[in-house]
Amino acid sequence: MLSKKTKYGIKALTFLARQKDNTPVQIAEIAKAEHISLKFLESILLLLRHSGFLGAKKGKGGGYYLIKEPKDINMAKVYRILEGPIALLPCASHNFYEKCDDCTDESLCAVRKLMMEVRDNTLMILENNSLADIAF
Amino acid sequence: MLSKKTKYGIKALTFLARQKDNTPVQIAEIAKAEHISLKFLESILLLLRHSGFLGAKKGKGGGYYLIKEPKDINMAKVYRILEGPIALLPCASHNFYEKCDDCTDESLCAVRKLMMEVRDNTLMILENNSLADIAF
DNA sequence: TATTAATCTATTAAACCGATAGGGTAGTAG
DNA sequence: CTACTACCCTATCGGTTTAATAGATTAATA
């Protein structure tokens, strides 16, 4: 299940992508429009800024804005930042690989086999979707 | 992330599928072979029995065994029993649909749009895989 | 009838999630 | 310079879920 963090993060990105011009939008405005807890959203936007998706402007008239074009924002990257691994099992993950404690021979593990197939497919979908693809 | 419940459940099914004949296998044997907590596995096998995948035989020489042929055991069904919804969001689920609190217009939701695409694809993979496909 | 193994009930420790509070810091307008 | 605004950081906390454990019971078999 997707965490609310990821859900809210993508919603916020979408909201910014749908702005006419790229002027800063206040956290409070996004929170209100998307019905998101303000403080929680604050931490999410901060993370997205640190990850290079958003810029921020302080002071009056400040807020958050997209740094890149929506079409250049890859949803697989976004997903990994917000949610973490795309694979459903650590042993089936590219970027977050971890060996299972209980497995003696990974190559014989049926669960891993199945979950790698699922991962490959999910990854492909996320890679092939930009923010522009889902926002418009 | 896949829960250990699901992981252990599929591992146990695989273990049973790989048996030469279909004589009952004791919980303890599976638990030992797959390094699973015995009591935890106990509750999982019980669930799989109640869901029509396994049969159980009590007393000496008893244990659990597959009721159906591995090729007739659909992994999407298994997944739904053990893990729950295949979709990553309730609002993108067929069998476990639930409306989001925060969404005013579901049709405009970019997250849902993306997650439905992921779901459709994951579902297809799970539907197209039987226990036999992943165990052998 | 004794043994064996599944079944049921219940409890618990740990981890994680989502939300909230409060204050600190820094940029901007006037 | 000063006040305001809005980002930034730290800490906490209740609730839920997960994974595991313990003990008692029921049923089948030899």
**Using one digit for the tens of pLDDT, what is the confidence trace for A81-104?**
999 999 999 999 988 888 888 888
Question: Of B98, B74, B67, B103, nearest to B10 (Cα)?
Answer: B74
* CB-based contact, B29 to chain A, within 8 Å: no
Residues 14-73 of B with CB under 7 A from strand C: 24, 26-28, 39, 42-43, 45-46, 49, 56-64
Residue A57 backbone phi and psi in degrees, to 5: -125, 130
Instruction: Give the distance from residue B83's alpha carbon to the nearest chain A alpha carbon, in angstroms.
Output: 10
Q: Which of A62-71, A112-121, B28-37 is modeled with the greatest confidence? A: A112-121
Asked whether the predicted pLDDT for residue A32 surpasses 90, the reply is no
pLDDT, position B21: 81
pLDDT, position A104: 85
Q: Could you state, in order of their start, the residue ranges of all structural domains in chain B?
A: 4-66, 71-135
Burial class (CB in 10 A: 0-12, 13-18, 19+), B39: exposed
Residue nearest to nucleotide C20 (CA to C1'): A39
Neighbours of B68 (CB within 10 A): 14
d(CA B116, CA B99): 14
Please name the member of A10, A111, A114 whose beta carbon is closest to the beta carbon of B111.
Answer: A10
Higher confidence at residue A61 or residue B113? B113
Asked whether the predicted pLDDT for residue A59 surpasses 80, the reply is no
Query: For strand C, is any atom closer than 7 Å to the CB of B77?
Result: no
- Please tell me the CATH code under which domain B4-66 is placed: 1.10.10.10
Residue B119 backbone phi and psi in degrees, to 5: -60, -50
Q: Model confidence over B13-22: pLDDT tens digits?
A: 999 999 988 8
CA B60, C1' C1: Å apart?
15
Cα-based distances in Å from B98 to A5, A44, B25, B112 = 18, 24, 39, 12
Least confident of A30-34, A73-77, B73-77, B132-136: A30-34
Instruction: Name the helix (H) or strand (E) containing B6.
Output: helix B4-17
d(CA B118, CA A117): 13
Asked whether the predicted pLDDT for residue A56 surpasses 80, the reply is yes
Please name the member of A36, A113, A129 whose beta carbon is closest to the beta carbon of B114.
Answer: A129
Residue nearest to nucleotide C28 (CA to C1'): A59
Q: Model confidence over B38-52: pLDDT tens digits?
A: 999 999 999 999 999
Query: For strand C, is any atom closer than 7 Å to the CB of A96?
Result: no
| pLDDT less than 50: residues of chain B | none
Average the pLDDT over A52-81 and give the result: 89
The contacts of residue B102 (CB under 8 Å, 6+ apart) are A11, A34, A35, A36
In chain B, residues with a C-beta closer than 8 Å to the C-beta of A102 are 11, 34-36
